[in-house]
Structure formats: structure tokens, C-alpha cells
Structure 1
Amino acid sequence: MHDHPMFIDGSHQPAAGGAWLESTDPYKGEVWARIPRGGAEDADRAVKAARRALKSGPWSTMSATKRGHLLRAIGDGIARNADRLAEIETRDNGKILAEMKGQMNALPEFWYYYAGLADKIEGSVPQVDKPDTLAMTVREPVGVVAALTSWNSPLTFVAMKCAPALAAGCTVVLKPSEFASVSTLAFAQIAKEAGLPDGVINIVTGLGSEIGGPLVQHPLVDKVTFTGSDSTGRMIYQLAAASMKRVTMELGGKSPNIVFEDADLDAAAVGAVAGIFGAAGQMCTAGSRLLVQNSIKEAFTERLVSLTRTIRMGDPNSSETNIGPIATPPQFQKVLSYIEAANADGARCVIGGKVATVDGSSDGQFIEPTIFTDVTNNMKVAQEEIFGPVLSIIGFEDEAEAVEIANDVIFGLAAGVWTADFGRQYRMARALEAGTVWVNTYRAYSPILPIGGMKQSGLGREGGLVGIDDYLETKSILFSTGKGQTANPFLQR
């Protein structure tokens, strides 16, 4: 077991109070690392270091092109350390190693994308309707960013937040989830070795109630970006609103995955499994509501159950494993509570629904891939985010009913549509209230495309060209080109 200190102003440091938190391997049920249990004093030190880096020192005067070079160097560092980082994340959150290696190998592209964008931030020279006036707009960094990330894909969220923030010229204080902080702390050394100046990225760890709140409320923080549950997001939003901080939030989802009778049903079944059982369902875009046209509902359910029976649970480090453990004990109990609620509401469990016994796992933190049918959209299991391997199958008659059911939820993060009819593909994609719509595929991502939600799935977008906008302020500047002051001082020009 190793201790992993915080990273503040370019150096690794313990918490001011000297306390530590234990990080448990969710597969083995063993403590494998310790992270500092930080508090308000640590948040203050990190924010002040970020503010100094923003206002003085090499970062404050660095050219945008040079910033881009540093971001590319960070991407290169991640590429060199991809296997090690994947192993750390698997140890910390239990996701299968094969997926984490795929994520780590893809992650440098986020850094390269924003490295290329850094020196392409442009203002404008509008032709204003004022005589003897030259006007321009410039884009400036919003300031110090507090970035709070979730435990299911820590370094992916670091890239989605830090790469555009740094490209814009901001500085950052990262607060990873207390359940999975080690990979983010390992990233600190990669950033330092890439040549990032001290204080540009700082990493503080601890409980959200003890360090997250002080960080969000800090008067020197200009913007908050958060990935996590909608309930936590609402609390953070309220705290940030007190001082009018800019906010970006990627929150929960209850995404519909919609299968029409004319779809390629083999592909749709694979897409349904990928949408809910990938990462053991612990993803915000999980297609946890499977809407199936009534004419094929029974046959498609049988097909899906047969495919689900082939899923292998086990050691996340094994190439044979498809699903690892639930990442945290609280999440494990939460998923079980939703299975109980579904049974109580009259949904019919056709596979799974129980705790799984897996060789090598002492704490039993595995839940069988679970499918419920006879689900109505007003049931708790169909309305609330579960964040686990639990699928609800809901029937529909036609396009209109599919859209009505799909949109009848407070979330709007993602959706899937399976049909061979291009007209229907387009109509459904436009009608669905979701930030991302996949057509005849699911779980496809790119740094070039924005991700974000409608309704209570969040605020703003991450990724793509628009992903940098929330880290920039637009300033208007007006120059008088006339000679002397001839305007009436009591009238607006």
C-alpha cells in the first residue's frame, strides 16, 4: 500500500491536518492506497496557487501556441503511461482493464485536439454603427477553474475539463472523487514532466463535504465544472450561485435506447447490451430504458436474455471478464435497492436480479446483469438513474408513442435509435430530448464532438469546438478614432 499526496503549486503535499483516507480495491475488497483527507485550508492553498499562476509567472504571459505545445506534451505523457494509468483506474474503480486501456489509449486525442485549438481562439472586429469608432471583441480566460470529477472514468473527465481550460489560458484546481483519486494524482507527475508551470494544475483530495464545498465557494474561484449525480450537482449549483460563478455540469441520465421492428435485431441486441452492461452500467449515458416496438418485444427480449447469459463476471484484470464489480459499497447498496423497488412495483425480472458470487472477490460487490420487463415508464426503476447493470424493457406501438415515452423523464443526456428507415432515423433524432443521439450504434465518443445534457442532465457542453467556450469570457473594446471630444457628455453615444 502506498500514500499518494496532493499536488499543490508544483509539489506533492499531505493534507494540512495530516489525515488520510483509504482507497479500496472493489474486486479484492482490500485497501491498496491512501489519499490525503483535505479540508478548507488545503482548498485555500490550492486556489491561491492557481490564482498566482494565472496572474503572474510564466503561464500568465505564455503565448497560446506555447500553451498548445504543453498540452500536446501532456498527451504524449499519457500515451507513454497508458498501461500504468489503466491499471491504476481498474484497481481504484473495478472497471475492466481492457476498457480502461482503450480509454487511456484514446485519451491523448483530447489533449491533442485542444492543443491545436489553443492558438485559434479569435475575437472579431465588428463594423459598429458609431462614427469615429473602432470596435473589437477579444476572448479571455475565465480565470481559476474548480473541476470536480466522478469515480467511474477519472482521467477521461480530467481531460474533458482540463484540456479546454488550459487551452483557454485558465488555471485549475482538481478535486477527484474520494473513491477514485489515485490516477488523477498520478497524472500530476505527467503534467509536471511535460513542463506545465507550477500552480497551473493543482489536485486536492478528500470528502466532498469537507473540501468540495470550500473549493466551490472560494472567492477566488471563477468557474466550477462538475461531473456526477444530479443530486450532488444541484447542491454544487446552489453553492456556486451565491457568488455568480460560471458553471458547467454533466449530470445523470436515464437514456432511452429505442428498437423498431425494422432494425437489424442482432446489432440492436449487441447495442442494448453495450448500452447498459458495459462498465457494469456505471456510466451516465447508460441506455437503461430499452424501448422495444410491441410487435417484436417478446422475441427481442428472448434474444437479449440469451445474449446476457454469455456475459462473464470476474477479475477486471482478466481478458476473459466482461463486467467487473460495482465500484463502491454505497453504489452497490443503491443498485440493490432499485432492484427491490422494481420487484415491489410489479416489474418482472427475466434474468439476474441478485448478488453474484465471483471467485477471488471477498466482499461480493458484484450484481448480476439484470433485465426487467413489464415495466411502465412511471415506475421508479424507469425514472431514476440507477448507475448499475439494471435494464428496463418498455413496449411501444409507433414513433409517436416512442418519442412520448422517451422524453417523459427529467433527464436528457443521451438516446439510441435502431431502425433501417432513414426518414425515421432523422425524425427520431430531432424529436428526442437528448444532448447525444446514437443511430444504429451506442457508446461512440470523440473529442471532436460535444457531450452534454438537456433538462436536468446538466448545463453546457464538453468536447468539440464549443467545449472551450465555457472557459472564455468575451470582452468588447471600443476605440474613439475622432479628434477631440465633441459629443454631448449628457447623451449616450
Structure 2
Amino acid sequence: MTASTRHDLFINGEWKKPDSGKWIEIRSPATGEKLGEAARGDKEDVNIAVAAAKKAFPAWRDTPASKRADALYRLRDLVARDKEKLATIITSEMGKPLKEARAEVDFAIGLLRFAAENTWRLQGEIIPGERPNEKILIDRVPHGVIGAIAAWNFPLALCARKIAPAIAAGNTIVLKPHELTPLSGLALAKLVAEAEIPAGVVNIVTGDGPEVGVPLVAHPDTKLITMTGSTPAGKKIMAAAAEHLKEVRLELGGKAPFIVMEDADLDKAVEAAVVARFGNAGQVCTSNERTYVHEAIYDRFAEKLRSRINALKVGDPMDPSTDMGPKVSEDELKKVDDIVKKAASQGAKVEIGGQRLTGGLYDKGSFYAPTLITGVTHEMNIARNEVFGPVLSLLKVRDFDEALERANDCHYGLSAYLFTKDLARILRMTKELNFGEVYVNREGGEEPQGFHHGYGDSGLGGEDGQHGLEAYVDTKTIYLNA
């Protein structure tokens, strides 16, 4: 990839110059190097892409499920073939360590595989009617054109997460990758073409939110909107979609509590707390955002935690030994730094880190130090608002009752963590912990066959697994008589 590389829009199976004639410069957050330019799409490009998807829909809807599965298997195999190339693109444009980028490609492969395997499982129902010989059929039918918007933190996997179930169910799709990280989605588009998925079934329009995202959401021919991103952006999308009363699926922010009880495996809990907070530089909606530790083990936990954080290696994300790369951009780094400064001003103690890293490689990129903050109270901003960065807040709790109360006192409801050996607590948690996804005695990381969803400000609907796949179909009720 050279600095002069320009990437067109992928519409109707072809590469198209942007209607605006403008381009977005893409730079590495680790080195500042120019990686290339992506087309700056606009409303006219969205209209062309949606028209192509609409035209392709009837034939793709009528394609047998087995043939749709074959297309997805071909795409999966191509992603697996190009795993190293795709991982390198992810790391270059997003900044996550190469080992994490490889795991992201594996997740994308899993998502494509699950969708392919389940094209036959979008099953209907037959219900007895009230009239003689009548049958009531509940059929599953695709929506039509899907409008999809992906976030920057998992630039390949989030594209696969939306494309795979959409086309498995017989829909066509127009997808907008994030403007900071469009290259992974465009690389996937090349493989879509190579997999011989029919023209118009998958379309990729790059550009920013106002110029591409807004017209995609507002377009009368997009029947379902699926978006991964921030809660404020999700609320705007929901409002825009209301004009046409279209269905909306939103996977938004999180403020995951990480609860460690006195009977937990301490070493296991510390390792999971660090992985769940500093993986991808904390830029994960399921990240450990607030660590609640039982007072009986707080001091021992904190000691082990300090040692583990201090051992993290921050540096070149292409280096296999690097544990944490840069923030995705200078703006995102500043947001995190402002949150840390606010916490300190409210009385929290910054024990480790708390500033951007400087010198050598660090001067070229957006590197923030792995940070540990103690003395945090539940009322502080940092305990209530999403950080989305490499900052671990440590809080002490008296017992399980207080941990549950503090965990649930939150506008978000995506993910949570619990470390305990007490089955009674685990069973109680299933009823009382108000989060859509809970990891018990393990670090985070959802699976393609699971269901990734949240409550409250964490969004509507969900992704992955059979429940996620069924979001991409509607129901049609038929009263069948001879």
C-alpha cells in the first residue's frame, strides 16, 4: 500500500469514483504515515448504491438458501486466505496490535461461517386455522435493502458482522465503514467481488456521517438500519429513521462493571481485568470500565494489578511483542486525557500513567499510557461515563449486594463481568444484574454463535447467533385456504 493509493467506492460490483471528486486522507495512528485516500462519498453516491441494491434484491431474495450459503463460504475462504494481509490493514489504519488484528480476522471468519451455516435455519411456522382445512403460515422474509454503519474499533469484523447475516437472509446491503478506518471494509469488498457475489448485493460507500450516514439512514428504500457506534450517534440515527418508521438495530456504548468477589481466583481475575481493559487500548464497547473489588481482597488485588499493568508493553503495533498500540486518533486521545484530568480534579488518584507517551515512536503517533486510577467513588464522572480508553478505575465494595447496586446504577447495559466461585451468587446475578451480556470467570470476547446485545443507552436489538440473524428477516402471516 503506497501513500498515493486512492480507493474508490464499491457500487453494483464495480469501483466508482466519488460524485464529489473528493477524498479522505487515511493515516496510521501509530506512525502518522499516510496510508492512502478513500473516496469521500455523498448523497448522490448513496442514492446510486441504494438503487443498485434495490435492483439486485429480487434475484438475490429468490436465490436458494444453499446458493447464498455457498457464496458466504467462498467469501469466508477468501478472508481466511488473506488473513495476514487483512490483519496488517487493520493494524495500519486502526492501530491495534497485530496479534489482536489477527484475532479480529478470525472473528470475521467465524461470523461468515455462522451465517453460511444458518441460511437454512430461518424457518417459518404452520399453525392450525379456524376454518376447515385452513393453515396459517408464518413465513420469514428478507426486509430488502439494509443500510449499515460500522464503527472504527473493529473495522473488518463489524463489516462482516453486518454483511454476513444480511445477505444470508436474502437482503442486499449498502454499508458505510467509519471514515477513520475504511480500508478494511474496502479490502473486504474486493473479496466480495472475487467470491462472485452478484453485483449490487453488497455495496460499500465510504465517507463521513453527515454526507453518507445521514442520507443512508434517511433514504426511503433502506428498510432496516443497523449501526455500531456511540450512543449520541445512535440516538440521532433512531430519530432520522423515524420519518419512514424503519426498523433500527443499534449496538452502542457500554460501561461494563467488573465484579471481583473475595472467593475469586485472584490471578485469573487480575489477568482478565487487564485484558478486558487494555485490549485494543480500551477501545471496545465491552471493556472493563469500572472494577469493583471486595474489600477483603482489595489490597492484594490492587498489588497484583499494579504489577501487571506496569508490565504492559506499549509500542509499534506491528511488533509481535507489543501489548497495546495507540489510540485511533488525536481527538480520541484528548477525550481520554480530559476524562483522567477530570477524575483527578474530583479527588481520584492517578497511580499509573495518566498522560500521553512521548519520545521516539511515541512522538509520531497517538499513544496514551496504560493508566490505573484509585480512590474512585461512584459519583465521579469517570465511574459513570464511558471512557473508551486504556484507563482502569478501581473501586472497593463491602459485599455482593453493594457490587450489584453499584453495577446497576448506570445508563448503559451492554456487558458485565463477575468473578466468584459461589453458585448462589451466579444464579442471583442472572436475575439481578441488568446487562445483556455477562462474562463469568473469564475475560470478554463474544462468539459468533452467541447474542451480543445490551439494554438502555447500549442500544436496541443485537448482533450474532440465531437471534441476531433473525433480525434480518421480517414475518409474513398467510391464511392459506384451497
1:259 and 1:143 map into 2 onto residues whose CA distance is 46
Secondary structure of the residue aligned to 1:288 is strand
Other-structure match for 1:263: 264
* Equivalent in the alignment of 2:329: 328
- Shift in Å, 1:360: 2.3
User: What amino acid is aligned across from residue 324 of structure 1 in structure 2?
Assistant: G
Conservation of the 8 A alpha-carbon contact between 1:248 and 1:459: yes
Counting matched residue pairs gives 479
1:39 matched to 2:47? The reply is no
CA shift, 1:455, in A, is: 1.2
Question: CA shift at 1:479, angstroms?
Answer: 2.5
Return the alpha-carbon distance in structure 1 between the equivalents of residues 321 and 431 of structure 2: 39
What is the CA–CA distance in structure 2 between the aligned matches of 1:266 and 1:362, rounded to whole Å? 34
- Which residue identity does 1:473 align to in structure 2? D
Where does residue 50 of structure 1 map in the other structure?
Answer: 53
Inter-partner Cα distance in structure 2 for 1:43 and 1:301? 51
Cα deviation for residue 190 of structure 1 reads 0.4
- Preserved CA contact (<8 Å) 2:32 2:364: yes
Instruction: Report the Cα distance in structure 2 between the residues aligned to 1:50 and 1:358, rounded to whole angstroms.
Output: 49
Partner of 1:18: 21
Contact 2:61-2:142 within 8 A present in 1 as well: no
2:118 is paired with a residue whose SS is: helix
Match of 1:488 in 2: none
- Letter of the 2:39 partner, please give it: P
Give the distance between the partners of 1:44 and 1:8, measured in 2 at CA: 11
Distance 1:419 1:369 in 2: 26
Deviation at 1:4, TM superposition (A): 1.0
SS at match of 1:308: helix
The secondary structure found in structure 2 opposite 1:357 is coil
Per-residue deviation, residues 182-231 of structure 1 (Å, max 9, x unmatched)? 01001111011111000000000111011110111001110100001101
Q: Which amino acid aligns with 1:340?
A: K
Alpha-carbon shift at residue 114 of structure 1 (Å)? 1.0
Computed over aligned residues only, the root mean square deviation of the Cα atoms, in angstroms, reads 1.2
Q: Is the 8 Å Cα contact of residues 96 and 326 (structure 2) preserved in structure 1? A: yes
Deviations 1:414-439 (A, max 9, x none): 01111121222222243211111111
Give 5+ residue unaligned stretches, structure 2. none
Alignment-mate amino acid for residue 6 of structure 1: L
Q: Does 1:9 align with 2:15?
A: no
> Are positions 1:369 and 2:370 aligned together?
yes
How far apart, in 1, do the equivalents of 2:196 and 2:366 lie?
A: 41
Contact 1:93-1:327 within 8 A present in 2 as well: yes
The answer on whether the counterparts of 1:118 and 1:168 sit within 8 Å (CA) in structure 2 is yes
Instruction: Give yes or no for contact 2:61–2:171 (8 Å, CA) kept in 1.
Output: no
- The TM-score, its normalising length taken from structure 1, stands at 0.95
Residues 129 and 479 in structure 2, CA contact (< 8 A), matched pair in contact too:
no
Q: How does 1:281-320 map to 2 (within 5 A)?
A: 281-320=282-321
Structure-to-structure mapping, 1:167-178, within 5 angstroms? 167-178=168-179
The 5 Å alignment of 1:240-255 reads 240-255=241-256
Contact in 2 for aligned 1:417/1:437 (Cα 8 Å)? yes
**Residue identity in the other structure for 1:33:** G
For the residues of structure 1 that align with 2:413 and 2:107, how far apart are their CA atoms?
26
The superposition leaves residues 81-121 of structure 1 with CA deviations (integer Å, 9 ceiling, x where unpaired) of 11000000100010000111122134212111111111222
Q: Which amino acid aligns with 1:37?
A: R
| 8 A contact 2:107–2:448 mirrored in 1 | no
1:480 deviates by 3.1
Residue 427, structure 1, aligned to residue 403, structure 2: no
Q: Does 1:454 align with 2:455?
A: yes
Q: Structure 2 CA distance, aligned partners of 1:277 and 1:426?
A: 29
How far is 1:454 from its partner?
A: 1.0
- Report the AA paired with residue 7 of structure 1: F
Question: Paired residue for 2:120?
Answer: 119
Aligned partners of 2:390 and 2:21: how far apart in 1?
38
Distance in 1, Cα, partners of 2:322 & 2:359: 11
Q: CA deviation at 1:173?
A: 0.3
1:285-321 deviations in Å (ceiling 9; x for gaps): 0011000111221221121011100000000000111
SS in 1 for 2:425: helix
Amino acid at match of 2:144: G
- Superposed displacement of residue 60, structure 1: 3.8
Using the TM superposition, name which of 21-30 and 350-359 deviates more: 350-359
The reply on whether 1:412 has 2:413 as its aligned counterpart is yes
Give secondary structure in 1 for the equivalent of 2:471: helix
2:212 alignment counterpart: 211
In the superposition, relative to structure 1, how do residues 127 and 358 fare at CA in structure 2: closer, same or farther (>3 Å)?
farther
Letter in 1 for 2:287: A
Are 1:477 and 2:478 matched, yes or no? Answer: yes
Give yes or no for contact 2:108–2:161 (8 Å, CA) kept in 1.
no
For 1:486, the equivalent position in structure 2 comes to: none
Runs of 4+ in 1 over 6 A off after TM superposition: none
CA contact (8 A) 1:357 1:364 kept: no
Query: Deviations 1:335-387 (Å, cap 9, x if unpaired)?
Result: 11101111111111111101112532433411111111111112110111111
1:213-269: CA deviation from partner (whole Å, max 9, x where unpaired) = 011100111010000110111111110111111111110000000001111101110
Structure exhibiting the larger radius of gyration computed from Cα positions? 1
The offset of 1:132, in angstroms, is: 4.6
Is 2:190 aligned against 1:189? yes
Q: Judge which range, 319-328 or 117-126, deviates more.
A: 117-126
State the match for 1:485 in structure 2.
Answer: none
Percent identity between matched residues is 39
In the superposition, the TM-score normalised over structure 2's length comes to: 0.97
Separation (CA, whole Å) in 1 of partners of 2:237 and 2:122: 29
CA distance in 1, matches of 2:324, 2:62: 48
Residues 29, 365 of structure 2: 8 Å contact kept: no
Q: Which amino acid aligns with 1:31?
A: K
